[in-house]
Amino acid sequence: MSTLQPITISTNLSTTAIPNINNGSECPDSISWDIFNSSLHIYIFIISALGILLNIFVLLVFCLHKKPCTIAEIYLSNLAASDLILVSCLPFWAVNIYNNFQWPFGLFLCKVVNLGIKMNAYCSIYFVVLVSIDRYIALVHAMSHGRMRRPKYAKISCLLVWLFGLVLGSPVVIFRKVEYIADYDVTACFIDYPDIKFELFCDIMLTILSFIIPISIIAYCTLKIIQALRNKSMDRFHTEGTEKKATTLILAVLAAFLICWVPFHLISILDVLYRAKVILDCFTSNVLEFCNQIFTYLAFFNSVLNPVLYVLVGKNFRKKVSEVFHQWAIVRPVTSDSTRSHLSSTLKTTV
C-alpha cells in the first residue's frame, strides 16, 4: 500500500487523504511522507492542547472581568473563540493520521470537524479585518467616524462574520463523504466535488473571498495605522494611551497572522493554478505538495500564538488578568467567611 499524504485544509490537498485522487495528476509521488506520518500527529496534539488551554484562558479573562469589553476586545475575544473551535477539531485529524488515514469517527464528524476547521480559518481572517478597521477608525478617523465604534455594532459585525464563515464552509458539509477506497485499503474522509470545473470555481471564489479581499483591507488599514502613529500631528486629536496600547497589540496580532497564514494562501493559489493546468511540470507539483503541508501546519500554529501575544504585548490584557485574579482572591475569602457564618448559625439553631 502506498504511503498516504497528510490531510490539510488547503484547497486541493484537503480533498482527500489519498494522493492525487481528485486532481487528475499523473506525476509520480517523489516525496516520502514517512517523517510527516510518524511525527505529525504529535505536533497536532501539542498545538491542540496548548491552543485549547490558552484560548480558554483568554476567553475567561474577557468574560470574568468586571468591566465590559472594549470594541477591540470584542473582536479579539471572538478571534479567540474562533481559534478555540479550530484547535478543538484538530485532534480528530491527529487520530486520523495516526491510524494511517483510516477515519474512525463516521460521516457526521467527518463533516462537522472539517467544517470547524474551514469555517474558523475563514472567520479568523475576517475578525482580523474587523480589528484592523477598528484601529483605522480609532486612529485615523476618530473625529468623523468615532460614532461607528460602538459595542452594539461590533457584536453585530461579529455575528455577520460567523454567518459568513458558515456560508464559506458550506461546501465541506455538502461534499464531504466517508468512503472505502480499495486501492489504499482505508475508509477515508474526503471532499468529493461533482467535477473539476466546479471544484476550481469553488476554490477560486474562496481564494478571492477568504484571502485577496480581506488581505487587501488589512494591508490598507495597517499602512494607514502606521502612518498615523508616525504622524506627530496626531497628538492634536488627544489620542488616549489605551488606544495606542491596544493598537500595539493589534499590530502584533496582524504581523503574526500574516506570517502564519499568507504562505498558506499563496501556496493554495499556486495549487489552484496547477489543477487548472496553468502549471504543468511535475517538479512544481511535488514542491507544492510539500510546501502545502508545511505552511498548513504553520497556519494552525497561529491559534496558539495569538494568546501568547496577548500576554507578552498586551499591557491592558495583563492588567485585566491581574484584576481578575484580584477579584477572585477577594471573592474567595468572602465566600468562605459567609459559608462558615451560615454553618455556625445552623449548628446553633440545631442545638
User: Is 70 exceeded by the pLDDT of residue 19?
Assistant: no
How far from chain centre, in Å, is Cα 265?
13
Q: Which of 63-72, 146-155, 211-220, 330-339 has the lowest mean pLDDT?
A: 330-339
pLDDT of residue 23: 43
Q: Is residue 292 part of a domain?
A: yes
Strands (E), 209-284: none
Q: Kindly state the helix (H) or strand (E) to which residue 190 belongs, with its residue range.
A: strand 186-191
Q: Is residue 7 part of a domain?
A: no
User: Domain containing 147 — which CATH number?
Assistant: 1.20.1070.10
Q: Is residue 191 part of a domain?
A: yes
pLDDT of residue 333: 56
Q: Is residue 340 part of a domain?
A: no
pLDDT of residue 112: 94
Residues 6+ apart with CB under 8 A from 24: 196, 275
User: Is 70 exceeded by the pLDDT of residue 238?
Assistant: no
State the average pLDDT for the chain.
Answer: 80
Domain limits for position 37: 13-334
User: Is 50 exceeded by the pLDDT of residue 16?
Assistant: no
Q: Is residue 95 part of a domain?
A: yes
Q: State the greatest distance between any 2 C-alpha atoms of the chain, in Å, as a whole number.
A: 91
Q: Quick check: pTM over 0.75?
A: yes
User: Is 60 exceeded by the pLDDT of residue 172?
Assistant: yes
The grid coordinates of residue 151 equal: 459595542
User: Is 60 exceeded by the pLDDT of residue 103?
Assistant: yes
Q: Count of domains in the chain?
A: 1
Q: Is residue 105 part of a domain?
A: yes
pLDDT of residue 121: 86
Per-residue pLDDT tens digits for 111-125 = 999 999 999 889 999
pLDDT of residue 13: 34
Mean pLDDT to the nearest integer, 196-211:
89
pLDDT of residue 342: 53
Q: Is residue 349 part of a domain?
A: no
Q: Is residue 210 part of a domain?
A: yes
Residues 6+ apart with CB under 8 A from 16: 7, 22, 188, 190, 191, 192
CB 237 within 8 A of CB 149: no
pLDDT of residue 340: 53
